[in-house]
Amino acid sequence: KAGVTQTPRYLIKTRGQQVTLSCSPISGHRSVSWYQQTPGQGLQFLFEYFSETQRNKGNFPGRFSGRQFSNSRSEMNVSTLELGDSALYLCASSTGGGVEGEQFFGPGTRLTVL
């Protein structure tokens, strides 16, 4: 099975711009979660989507949003970028719950905001 893929792998933006990151889960997985990783805050949960619905949300401002499509692919969007949004954004997929619920991570998208 192919693993979780994320595109693009690297991105450079300037303050005030917006960005969209994409995540394709493992085939058959219906849950996609997003995490932000920074040196200062570590790994923080952004949100989780399951069957096109946001099931859980972390403590991030409304500039961070996401969605999931019927094929389980997910996108996250960050509007009005700030310098502090520079981070590695990791996507994880899982079957969606129960004992099979361990998450498998993609390689991440490294976002740099100048």
The contact set with another protein (CB under 8 A) reads: 31-33, 35, 42-45, 48-50, 55-56, 58, 88, 90, 92, 94, 96-99, 101-108, 110
Question: How near is the Cβ of 16 to another protein at its closest, in Å?
Answer: 27
Q: Output the six-digit token pair for 52.
A: 């096109």
DSSP state of 97: S
Pick 15 or 57: Cβ nearer another protein: 57
Question: How near is the Cβ of 15 to another protein at its closest, in Å?
Answer: 24
Pick 73 or 107: Cβ nearer another protein: 107
Pick 24 or 33: Cβ nearer another protein: 33
Placement of tokens 């740099």 in the chain: 112
6, 22 contact by CB (below 8 A):
yes
Pick 20 or 58: Cβ nearer another protein: 58
Placement of tokens 């949300």 in the chain: 57
Question: How near is the Cβ of 82 to another protein at its closest, in Å?
Answer: 22
What's phi and psi for 83, nearest 5 deg? -55, -35
First to last CA, the chain: 37
Placement of tokens 């933006």 in the chain: 13
